[in-house]
Amino acid sequence: MASMNPILSAQGIQQRFGELTAVDDVSVDIRENSIHAVIGPNGAGKTTLFNILAGTQSPTAGKVVYAGRDVTSMPIHQRVKIGMSKSFQRTSLFADLTVLENVRLAVQAADGAEPYVFWRSTDPGGRLSGIAEELLGSVGLRALSGARVGEISHAAQRTLEIALALASKPKIIFLDEPLAGMSIDDIHRAKHLIRSLSERMTVVLIEHNMSVVLGISDTITVMARGRKIVEGPPEAIRSHPDVRQVYLGHAP
Amino acid sequence: MLDRNSPLRPIAIVAALLVALPLLLPSLTLSSEVVVFAVGALSVSVLLQRVGLLSFGQGLFFGIGAYASGMLLAAAEISNAVASIGAVLVAVAISVGIGALIARRGGVYFVMLTFAFAQMGFFLMVAMAGITGGENGFADVPVAPLVAGGSATPGTFATYVYLAVLCLLAFAATCVMAASPFGSVQTAIRSNIHRAQALGYNIANFKAATFVFAAAVAALAGAMHTTLLGFVPPSVIEPETSQRLLIMAIIGGAGSPLGAFLGAAFYVVLSDALADVWPRWMMLIAGILIAVVLLAPGGLFGLLSNAFGRVRARG
């Protein structure tokens, strides 16, 4: 379960876009093997913070330290190699390829030995496809492996998103609104999947579904107007007066 | 029949076209010219089709291949085949440098940079007139056997066969690459570049490697051009050559390597037929280019494969 040591630590993060300060002097520690959610109303800067932590954006000031290493300006393809992985908010897959080929590409990237081989066909012994099939099985998508991604359901695409991010065997995974647009049944399944991930890795997520966030997270960081206003376990967040005011309104 | 997705399928079709070409066209020289430009257009289409890079400057590497092979033939008693390999290696060395600089740039920046390098290549050729022959071209290419031990004065048929084999090799290499692990990464890049990067692929390296491959193909075409003509006209490195290769690739259709072949055949045969009767034939080519871009973005290949698809669905 969650240990006390931070695997990822962001210090004094600031992000300016011209006159606008989207994130203003935010520091966050993310404990190893915890589920850490970043929430906040629209325009709170949570997506910007999340992107800086995940590495798709580098901050104007501040630094991000992962496992003792400054990764602030490390490009995303190198972060993958050291155990950081990100799934996308808007489904971002290879739509014209099959489910299996999507995952095989991800496994091939993680494997490292294959990608520059240009003189023979892909995966002659089926080793990478085997690993990919196994990964699909672990997220419950094996039955769809031959289908084209453009033709599978939205929920299945969201799950495939996560499967691609898992192929590199990350130590920390960033999930950008993993439940967006899912039906109630799908949300239930996805919740279990995310919970099961935290047995093996640290999970950082942004999510709008409050009941899920409160239900699965170990720690929640609440952002408002570019600043971190509260951080703590779900119980503390639920009852915190500032949170109720800026984010939850009158609920719950 | 061969599986639709097998890399052998387009290779077999190119082989069939290479056999049919001399039977369909009035002269072997014209057939040879088609074959040379098919390889040249392939170098444009492989960049566009595999990683979505539009090159306005493949003529640079076509020219480098043509000059390098001519100069190698003049410098040493070697066969055309050996000179061609040397020319390809020269282009590879140069394109590694250029590719590292420009392949990471996307969209219009890449287009402008290829254009700029092609211009630079042309003016370098003019500036180094002492070695290149400047505007007169490089005429000191000796008659040499096609392959080591071959006839010292090869005839037009032997030359066609030689060029056709090189053309087949270039198309085969392209198709094998497309079906390889490397090719699967290219497909990923073209399909969704941000996702490919997030998976851990270094996009810039894959684009640069594809750029080098395309340069090698263009240089091979240039060397084949020298073999066919027996000298190096300065036009091979003019910006117009880059343009022509691009037009061939677009008219033929960049959806498949076969498009490059069709586009080159169409362009060369049409210009040969029209050049004598109508000196402004380029206007017609321009009109066709406009029509293809607006009405049939898949080019000749797209039109043909649609037509075949319809026939098959009916039959």
CB contact under 8 A, B177 and A120: no
- Tell me how far the alpha carbon of residue A223 is from its chain's centroid: 17
Place of tokens 């739509």: A95
pLDDT of residue B8: 83
Best mutation site among B195, B211, B217 for testing chain A: the one with the most A CBs within 10 Å?
Answer: B195
The Cα–Cα gap between B271 and B54 comes to: 24
The CB-side HSE value for B212 (13 A sphere, CA atoms) comes to: 17
Q: Which two tokens stand for residue A66?
A: 């992962």
Q: Which residues of A touch B176 (CB under 8 A)?
A: 118-121
Domain definitions of chain B by residue range? 8-314
CB B6 within 8 A of CB B12: no
Interface check A90 vs B, CB under 8 A: no
CA distances from B198 to A75, A78, A202, B107 (A): 9, 9, 18, 20
More confident residue, A219 or B278: A219
Summarize pLDDT for B27-52 with one digit per residue, the tens. 999 999 999 999 999 999 999 999 99
Q: Which two tokens stand for residue A97?
A: 């390829």
Q: Are A109 and B179 inside 8 Å of each other by CB? A: no
Model confidence over B71-81: pLDDT tens digits?
999 999 999 99
- Looking at residue B5, its pLDDT comes to 64
Q: Which residue of B has its CA nearest to A173?
A: B198
pTM value surpassing 0.90: no
What pLDDT sits at residue A24?
A: 93
What pLDDT score was predicted for residue A249?
57
Lowest mean pLDDT among A144-158, B117-131, B259-273, B276-290: B276-290
Q: Does A169 touch chain B (CB under 8 A)?
A: no
**Block mean pLDDT (10 aa), chain A, length 252:** 79 92 94 93 89 92 94 91 86 89 92 77 82 92 93 91 91 92 88 91 91 92 92 90 70 44
pLDDT at A252: 42
Rounded Cα gap, residues B188 and B184, in angstroms: 6
Q: Do B199 and A92 touch (CB under 8 A)?
A: no
* Contact indicator for B47, B95 with CB cutoff of 8 Å: no
Which residues of B sit within 8 Å Cβ distance of A?
7, 176-177, 179-185, 187-188, 191-192, 194-203, 206, 209, 213
CB contact under 8 A, A80 and B198: yes
Mean pLDDT of B85-98: 98
**Res A251: pLDDT:** 45
Alpha helices in chain B (DSSP H): 8-24, 28-51, 58-75, 80-102, 107-127, 129-132, 156-178, 181-191, 193-198, 203-229, 239-252, 257-275, 281-295, 299-314
Q: Looking at the complex, does the CB of residue A81 fall below 8 Å from at least one CB of chain B?
A: yes
Cα–Cα dist B290/A76, whole Å = 40
For the stretch B191-231, pLDDT in tens is 999 889 888 899 999 999 999 999 999 999 999 999 999 99
B258 with B102: CB under 8 angstroms?
Answer: no
Q: Which residue has the higher pLDDT, A62 or B107?
A: A62
pLDDT of residue A248: 56
Q: Say what the pLDDT of residue A228 is.
A: 93
Tokens found for residue B32: 């040879």
Is residue B249 within 8 Å of residue B263, measured between CB atoms? yes
- The pLDDT assigned to A11 comes to 94
Are A116 and B188 inside 8 Å of each other by CB? no
Q: Identity (one letter) of the amino acid at A105? A: L
CATH number listed for the domain at residues B8-314 = 1.10.3470
The answer to whether the complex's ipTM is over 0.85 is no
**Which residue does chain B place closest to A123, by CA atoms?**
B181
